[in-house]
Chain A
Amino acid sequence: MRRLINQRISRPLAFFLGALPFIIAILLYMAASTERLSDNPNDKLLPAFSTMGDTLLRMATEENKRSGDILLWVDTLASLERLAMGVGISATIALLFGLTLGALPLLRANLSPFTTAISMVPPMALLPVLFIVFGLGEVSKVVLIVIGITPYLIRELQSRVSELPTEQWIKAQTLGANSWQLMLRMVLPQMLPRLVDALRLSMGAAWLFLIAAEAIASTEGLGYRIFLVRRYMAMDVILPYVVWISLLAIISDQLLKQLNRKLFPWYQPQ
């Protein structure tokens, strides 16, 4: 028999093994839920799948009596808008600074220690400052995301730039490029797919900061909603919302992955 490290798993088996933990988790939940509900039909801690389905359907199709909004979509839209703005702004800043810091020794000497120090500040500790400075509106939520992920993106891009082979830098110069042309035609295009990769990795953090900001001060949003209904122990809302958020995260990750494949066919991560 082969060593464990050399085992090859056939595709059907891999699929089955991959699905197994999901199935077990669902079955365990169902068993526990049924158990609790048989003791007390009004138990709120582990609602049945049917209850959660009903609640989700209601939130996704019926207008809220008080506001007239269809809550799931209003929340989703609000959250995604903040997320997109935060991530978009972060990406732009990171591209600008990561590129120049990576390529220009003068700027690197000047700003690198500063960005390193900034990236050590826990963003959540700055949230009160943001609320004081920018108020409780949209700006502080977006800024929290920006503060949270931009330093990482900058440092990531900077090191990706410095990983470009020396040969390329020399070659571009022998072809007559000045610093600007070199950054524009050699560094920037090669950094775009790496930026997308870095964004994929920082999406988790972006969601974290978004939900934290929404939990504290907001009037709509996915994070706001789950923290709001916590007061009524409405697990039938919270759990589907958490699943929905996770689903959105998976979808956005896959979209970014596909984007990289489509836009940068030459890019093959090692």
Chain B
Amino acid sequence: MSFIEFKKVSKTYGDQPVLDNINLSVKKGEFVTMVGASGCGKSTFLKMLSGQESASKGQCLLDGQPLTDEPSVDRGIVFQKYSVFPHLSVLDNVILGLEFAQSKLLARLFGKARAQAKEKAMNLLQRVGLHSAANKYPHELSGGMQQRLAIAQALIKEPKILLLDEPFGALDPGIRADMHQLILDLWQQTGTTIFMVTHDIGEGFYLGSRLLVFDKIRHDPMAPNAWGATITYDLKLNQANHGQLAKSGDSAQEHSLYNDIQHSVHATARVQDEAGPSIGISTGVGA
């Protein structure tokens, strides 16, 4: 049985379709990367997974149950920014998830319970390489370290799914490579199912065990908003590829796919750009 299933899912905002007819079935432990031009619904898709948005038509199932229409502990999330709480130290940011679960009234742990929570949190911080910064505030951390913290904070809840919304988009290239290694290591260690939105097609090929491309298959120049996007490519990726970008041409087939996808995504982006700002942005649909 599939772990996550989307059956004929569509999403419209008002009368404007964003996603049309999404059918998808994901097994436990997959690392799904999602690419596409801005306004092609990959973030909307992620929001449906996280519970921020619900499908207009069709069914979204997790373990056979419909996804709840608000965020829950099943689904951890890391955003591009603002993922961590600025008023809590690194350690407290991670412990917070445990405090919510164990202390309903005060949402705070004391004494032995806190010591246990602290040990667990420090363990996790060690794994993401932040143990020496445990007592710092987020604003004292670099962008990469903040994202490490956000990942640790999400992982302490051992979520069934980890949702990553362009988590490395704002980082320097070198830091990005480190983060890629980190997320792959954590994925292999925890076996959690990951969905990740990225603008970088190479990153999508490199990290994912499966790549989804969101694109518009129908386009009417007279009515640029008339059609929503759907999944145009659904690729199983070669796991052996981890360790070098698909761009480098390790597998000829993946390389040509990479070029095809890049071409079509860029074409869609260009068409939308020429159509003016009415697409995506004005409706608040987001990238």
| B-chain residues with CB within 8 Å of residue A167 when the two chains form the complex | 79, 81-83
| A-chain residues with CB within 8 Å of residue B99 when the two chains form the complex | 185
Q: Of A93-101, A143-151, A170-178, A243-251, which binds chain B?
A: A170-178
Q: Mark A232-270, 1 if CB is under 8 A from B, else 0.
A: 000000000000000000000000000000001111100
Which residues 82-115 of B sit at the A interface, judged by CB distance below 8 A?
82-88, 96-97, 99-101, 104, 106-108
The reply to whether B157 and A181 contact each other, CB–CB distance below 8 Å, is no
The reply to whether A174 and B157 contact each other, CB–CB distance below 8 Å, is yes
Judge whether A55 is part of the interface by a CB distance below 8 angstroms: no
Judge whether B159 is part of the interface by a CB distance below 8 angstroms: yes
| A-chain residues with CB within 8 Å of residue B263 when the two chains form the complex | none
The reply to whether A181 and B87 contact each other, CB–CB distance below 8 Å, is no
The reply to whether A266 and B87 contact each other, CB–CB distance below 8 Å, is yes
Judge whether A137 is part of the interface by a CB distance below 8 angstroms: no
Q: Of B7-15, B68-76, B191-199, B237-245, which binds chain A?
A: B68-76
The reply to whether B85 and A173 contact each other, CB–CB distance below 8 Å, is no
Which residues 16-51 of A sit at the B interface, judged by CB distance below 8 A?
none
A172 to B96, CA, bound (A): 9
The reply to whether B50 and A190 contact each other, CB–CB distance below 8 Å, is no
Judge whether B266 is part of the interface by a CB distance below 8 angstroms: no
Within the complex, the shortest CB–CB distance from A256 to chain B, in Å, comes to: 18
A178 to B157, CA, bound (A): 15
Could you say which interface size class chain A belongs to?
A: 20 to 34
| B-chain residues with CB within 8 Å of residue A264 when the two chains form the complex | 87
Q: A181-B107, A268-B139 are in contact. Are A174 and B73 (CB under 8 A)?
A: yes
The reply to whether A174 and B82 contact each other, CB–CB distance below 8 Å, is no
Q: A181-B107, A184-B106 are in contact. Are A175 and B83 (CB under 8 A)?
A: no
Judge whether B137 is part of the interface by a CB distance below 8 angstroms: yes
Which partner residue on chain B sits nearest A167 by CB separation?
B82
Judge whether A53 is part of the interface by a CB distance below 8 angstroms: no
Q: A175-B96, A181-B100, A185-B96 are in contact. Are A190 and B77 (CB under 8 A)?
A: no
| B-chain residues with CB within 8 Å of residue A267 when the two chains form the complex | 86-87
Which partner residue on chain A sits nearest B47 by CB separation?
A170
The reply to whether A266 and B86 contact each other, CB–CB distance below 8 Å, is yes
Judge whether B154 is part of the interface by a CB distance below 8 angstroms: yes
The reply to whether B70 and A171 contact each other, CB–CB distance below 8 Å, is no
Judge whether A198 is part of the interface by a CB distance below 8 angstroms: no
Q: How many residues belonging to B are interface residues under a CB distance threshold of 8 Å?
A: 35
Q: A167-B79, A170-B52, A181-B107 are in contact. Are A175 and B73 (CB under 8 A)?
A: yes
Which partner residue on chain A sits nearest B108 by CB separation?
A185
Within the complex, the shortest CB–CB distance from A268 to chain B, in Å, comes to: 6
The reply to whether A165 and B82 contact each other, CB–CB distance below 8 Å, is yes
The reply to whether A181 and B75 contact each other, CB–CB distance below 8 Å, is no
| B-chain residues with CB within 8 Å of residue A177 when the two chains form the complex | 100, 107
The reply to whether A176 and B52 contact each other, CB–CB distance below 8 Å, is no
The reply to whether A175 and B52 contact each other, CB–CB distance below 8 Å, is no
Which partner residue on chain B sits nearest A190 by CB separation?
B87
Judge whether A61 is part of the interface by a CB distance below 8 angstroms: no
Judge whether A186 is part of the interface by a CB distance below 8 angstroms: yes
A175 to B117, CA, bound (A): 14
Judge whether A168 is part of the interface by a CB distance below 8 angstroms: yes
Q: A185-B96, A185-B99, A267-B87 are in contact. Are A174 and B139 (CB under 8 A)?
A: no
The 6 A-B residue pairs with the shortest CB-CB distance, nearest first, are: A173-B71, A165-B82, A167-B82, A175-B97, A181-B107, A176-B100
Please list 26 pairs of residues, one from A and one from B, whose beta carbons are closer than 8 Å in the complex, sorted by A's number.
Answer: A167-B79, A167-B82, A168-B82, A170-B50, A171-B84, A171-B85, A174-B72, A174-B73, A174-B76, A174-B159, A175-B73, A175-B97, A176-B97, A176-B100, A176-B157, A177-B107, A181-B107, A184-B106, A184-B107, A185-B99, A185-B100, A190-B85, A190-B86, A266-B88, A266-B138, A267-B86
Interface of A toward B, CB cutoff 8 Å: 165, 167-168, 170-178, 181, 184-186, 189-190, 264-268
